[in-house]
Each structure stands twice: as structure tokens, then as C-alpha cells.
Amino acid sequence: MISVTIKTGVLVIGGGITGAGILWDLALRGIDAVLIEQKEPAYGATGRCHGLLHGGCRYLVKDSAVAAECYRENKILQSVAKGAIENTGGYFVQVKGDDPGYVEQWLNLAGKTGIPVKEIDIQTAIKEEPLLAVQNIERVFTVPDAAVDPFDLTLMNLTGATQRGAKVFTNTRVEELIITGNQIRGAVVKDLASGESYSIHADIVVNAAGAWAASIAAKAGIRLNMKYGKGTLVVFAQRLTKRVINRLRKPGDGDIIVPAKSVCLLGTTDIPVSSPDDLDPTAAEITKMLNIGEEMFDHLSEKRILRTFAGIRPLYTGDNNNGEQNREISRGFAVINHEKDAVDGFYSIVGGKLTTYRLMAEQLVDVVAEKLGVKNPCQTAETVLPQPVAGQVKLAVEEPMLCECEQVTVQDLERACELPFCRDLHTIRKITRLGLGPCQGTFCIWRAVMLLYENQRISAAECRQLLQEFLAERGKGSCFTLWGDQLKQYELARGIYLNNFQLGDAADEI
Ligand SMILES: Cc1cc2nc3c(=O)[nH]c(=O)nc-3n(C[C@H](O)[C@H](O)[C@H](O)COP(=O)(O)OP(=O)(O)OC[C@H]3O[C@@H](n4cnc5c(N)ncnc54)[C@H](O)[C@@H]3O)c2cc1C
């Protein structure tokens, strides 16, 4: 039997950056809201993206309106979400063989759109970024790109919203939508830890489920035309560049490198897949990206690679699905009022970018607020988000360290556990960056799990399960990049986990 346990104004489905941004906007306007996420925050595309806060230049030629949107949002986020952003700046680099006609068109559109782009001489660029392949570089331009930590950004939005009274339920899946007549009434959800199902009654339901949005809409009998583009990324063990570096040509595979805290990411591919759960990188994708990367960066393939991962782009094709290739589909977004599908009070938000999430949330909440008769205007462009909870670089610490690579202390772990939406090791990892550095959890994950056990947050059986889950996940990402120093690291980790914890099967996967 299903019991009614919660009533709210707005139910938001999806704890990626879009859902988190919507919750923060609703909370600032004083609208009562609950967010449901089936796994941990940023489980979907948000936690699997490149972390490039676009200055807009990548989209200039394909869609200059999206480019201008990215530039405006980039500037806003640099003032309200400083804690998640590193203002690295960026280069766009024309490599021998790249179309000079494209470069001229790009420059012309940058001028028209007002995005500041400046050519610099090649020697200056090489001095700043010694990895650039000097013999291949033709022209270099500075652009207003930056690096953003998608975990921090999502968690900062959720923290701000919960501090203002919003509620977040993670590891909880929306199973059914409750509709009477043509009016949405809420949803039936299932707590995946306890197995308990309950209903949440709401005046409005917002579908912010990213690549899963079509499956949520289908629960109301509504068809959303979506395509899924799998993008694989390669994580290097160190920062190889100071800036975001893009290839200056029609967007393609493996043409961007983004520094991200202690590592950097090369990406990405764009492969059509039929399901949002098709998340496995392939060896062919990695080889292809490294080969392309070598045209812009010297000896890239010899650098130590930590792992790879893939995410799914939620691409909305609209009502006219005219067979465009994934890279041709706009990175713009759509707010859909399903009154047009005879379901009142139900809205979907699809497409878009991490960079434009705040604007997406603003436009969605404008529509919802009007429906609810709330007059309070959007405040997310002026209100500074709370700082990230943990994982900040520390120059001197007295506290015992859990993770030396990422400077995560025992107190960081404890602070993370206090957050209302932190229910598992995946969330702790995203809050603190535990296990994300060069040793990939060899020394820190078991220490963290033991500490959780000592503090009576988990049982002995859960300890083992958590270690196994973590190692299995790491194993998936490591298997195509095990050579050189990373292979030695892998063998060391295997030794530690096999000998100390008898985790034979899981350790074989790392
Ligand atoms: C490889 C790759 C690289 C990218 N790089 C960049 C970049 O550098 N810069 C940029 O600006 N953008 C980038 N993007 C785009 C960006 O990541 C996405 O546009 C953005 O993260 C989408 O966020 P979202 O919240 O809409 O979706 P998601 O992050 O996918 O969130 C949807 C959430 O809904 C949850 N959910 C689904 N079904 C249910 C259910 N039944 N019940 C409860 N919860 C449910 C999922 O678990 C998921 O957490 C990239 C995308 C990819 C794939």
C-alpha cells in the first residue's frame, strides 16, 4: 500500500544541474519545492561532462544565439558561483590543415556577437602552454572560457535551496505520475535504499530528468522527441595546460582539453546511442581522441591517463525530427508546457548546456511562478551561491588527511555527511573529490569506509558493499588505459585490496 507522506508546491524530477538550479530559483522566490533524484546528485550528464564553462566561441558558427547566451551566462556565473569556477581563460587554436575560411567566419561572428576574442603570437602561446605542438600551430586566439566543477556547482545549488527550506530526496526514483482528469497531482516515488514507495502530492511537476526526460514524459502518455549522444572523456593524471584549449574548426571529436582541479580532461566523442543508460566508453573512442589530440598537443599519448568515462547528451529535436546528426542539433533548450498535451501543471525542460543551466531554470520558474500566481522575480543572477562544503585546496592543515591526492581531511568527510542529501559514498566523493586523484582511491577509499563504519554511519556488510561498488566503477573507467605508471598504480591497488580486504572479484575489476 502507498501512503501519502509529503505535500509540496512544486515537485522537481532530476538532481542534475538543471533540477538543482530550478530548486534554487524556486527557493529564492519563496516557492515550496521537493526534488527527487534516483541516484546521487549529478549522477547523469552533469557529473559526466567536460566542465567547460563556455565563453560561447564553440557555438559561434553553428548557432550564434546559443554562443551569445553562453557568454552572458558565463559572466553571471563567474560572479554568483565563484566557488565552483576557475577562471582559466581559454585559447582557440588553428592547426595546419584546418579550414581558414571557417576561422574568418568565426572571427566575424565573434565581432558581431560581442564575444571578446584576441589573436596572440604563436611564441607567446607556446611559452604559456608548452604542450602545444609548435610545428602544427597556425594561429592562436584568447577567448573567455573557464573551468567549472559540475559537482560543486550542483551541490552549491542544492545546499542553497535546502538552507531555504527546499527538500531533496536522493536514491529515490519516480515510478509513476499521478494524474486525475487532465490535472497532474504529483508522483509515486520509491526509496531505493528501504524499498518503500510513497506518494508526493504537488500542484506542479517539473520534468528535469535530462536524457531520461522522455521516459518521465511517457509516464503521462506524452512523447518527447529526444536523441542521445554518448560523449567519452579521457582524464589525465595532471594539469597538462593552464587554460581550456579548443581546436578552431567545425566542432568534432577530441578537440578540447579542460584543466580540472588536479587533473585535466580531453574530449569528447559524440556517438548516437539508443538509451540514456549506455555509458560505456570504448577503446576505439579513446584511440581516436588521442590521435586527434596529438595534432594539437605534443606527445599527448605518452601522458599518464587515470581513467575514462562517458556521459549522454540530452538532445531535444522538437516536434520536427528531421534526421539531423547529433552535432547538428542545437545546444539550445526548450521549456515545454504539457497543457498542449492535455496535462495541466506538468512541465518538461530539455536540451541546453551546463553553462546555461541558470537561464534554463529562470525561464522554467518564470512559467511555474506565473501559474502559481507568485510575483517574486528571479534572483539567481544576483544572489551568490553558498561555497562548496569541502575539497578546497589547503596550504596547511592540522586535521588528519584521508586523501593526500585531493587533500580531503577527516573533517571534510564529516561535514559532507551532515548535508541533508548525502546518503552514500558516491555523494561523499562528489562533495570532497575523495578518490578522484592520481592514486584513484588506492589509499583513501578504504580509510573513508572504515571511518564511516567507526562513526556508526554504515554497517560491516555495507562496508564491503561500498568498497566493491567503488572498485567496480573505477574498474570500468580504467580498463582501456592501463599502461606505464598507471598500470603500476593499478597493481599496487590490487595488492592492497586483495590482501587486506579479500575483495578478489572487485579488485580484479580495477
Ligand atoms: C560528454 C559530455 C560533455 C559535456 N560537456 C559540457 C561542457 O563542457 N560544458 C557544458 O556547458 N555542457 C556540457 N555538456 C552538457 C551538460 O552536461 C548537460 O547539458 C547538463 O549536464 C544536463 O543536465 P541535466 O540536469 O539536464 O541532466 P542530468 O545531469 O542528466 O540530470 C538528470 C537527472 O535525472 C535523474 N533521473 C532520471 N530519471 C529519474 C527518475 N525516474 N526519478 C528520479 N530521478 C531521475 C538522473 O539520475 C539524473 O541525475 C556535456 C555533456 C556530455 C554528455
Evaluate if residue 4 carries a pLDDT over 70. no
Mean pLDDT within 20-36: 98
What is the number of residues in the chain? 510
DSSP 96: T
Is the pLDDT reported for residue 129 higher than 50?
yes
Q: Is the CB of 174 under 6 A from ligand 1?
A: yes
Ligand 1 contact via 303 beta carbon (within 6 Å): no
Helix, strand or coil, per DSSP, at residue 108: helix
Each domain of the chain, given as residue ranges in start order, spans 3-45+151-225+328-372, 52-148+227-316, 401-509
- Ligand 1 centre to CA of 155 (Å) is 14
Q: Is 352 in the pocket of ligand 1 (CB under 6 A)?
A: yes
Protein residue with least CA distance to atom 26, ligand 1: 210
Question: In ligand 1, which atom is closest to the CA atom of 17?
Answer: 25
DSSP assignment, residue 459? Answer: -
- Tell me what pLDDT residue 70 has: 97
Least confident window among 82-96, 331-345, 394-408 = 394-408
Distance 181 CA to ligand 1 centre (A): 32
pLDDT digits (tens, 9 = 90+) for 446-467: 999 999 999 888 888 888 888 8
Closest by CA to 259, choosing from 278, 280, 236, is 236
- Mutate which of 22, 35, 36, 50 for ligand 1 pocket (most atoms within 8 A of beta carbon): 50
Residue 102 is inside which H or E element, if any? helix 100-113
Q: Is the CB of 209 under 6 A from ligand 1?
A: yes
Least confident of 45-54, 173-182, 340-349, 490-499: 490-499
Residue whose CB lies within 8 A of the most ligand 1 atoms, among 37, 175, 335, for a mutation test: 37
Mean pLDDT throughout 403-410? 90
CATH classification code of 3-45+151-225+328-372: 3.50.50.60
Checking if the pLDDT of 381 tops 80, the result is: yes
Mutate to test the pocket of ligand 1, among 155, 212, 216, 333 (most ligand atoms within 8 A of CB): 212
Please state which of the ranges 1-10, 193-202, 331-340, 393-402 shows the lowest mean pLDDT: 393-402
- For 139-256, where are the alpha helices, taking DSSP H only? 150-163, 213-218
Ligand 1 proximity of 41 Cβ (cutoff 6 Å):
no
For the chain, what percent of residues have pLDDT higher than 90?
74
Residues contacting residue 230 through CB under 8 Å, at least 6 positions apart: 269, 270, 271, 272, 273, 278, 279, 310, 311, 312, 313
Substitution candidate for ligand 1 out of 12, 22, 38 with most atoms within 8 A of CB:
38
Per-residue pLDDT reduced to its tens digit, 203-213: 999 999 999 99
| Ligand 1 touching residue 269 (CB < 6 A) | no
| 482 CB burial (10 A radius; 0-12, 13-18, 19+) | middle
19 lines ligand 1 (CB under 6 A): yes
What was the pLDDT predicted at 508?
A: 54
The response to whether residue 38 sits with its C-beta less than 6 Å from ligand 1 reads yes
406 versus 133: the higher-pLDDT residue is 133
Say yes or no: domain 52-148+227-316 is CATH 3.30.9.10.
Answer: yes
Whole-number Å distance, alpha carbon 46 to ligand 1 midpoint, is 4
Q: What is the pLDDT of residue 440?
A: 87
pLDDT tens-digit readout, 253-308: 989 999 998 899 999 999 999 999 988 899 999 999 999 999 999 999 999 999 99
Indicate if the pLDDT at residue 2 is higher than 90: no
229-232-238 Cα angle (round to 5):
150
For ligand 1, what atom is nearest to the CA of residue 349? 26
Closest ligand 1 atom, CA of 154? Answer: 25
Whether residue 164 has its Cβ less than 6 Å from ligand 1: no
- What's the 361 CA to ligand 1 centre distance in angstroms? 14
Question: What does the pLDDT look like over 101-110, one tens digit per residue?
Answer: 999 999 999 9
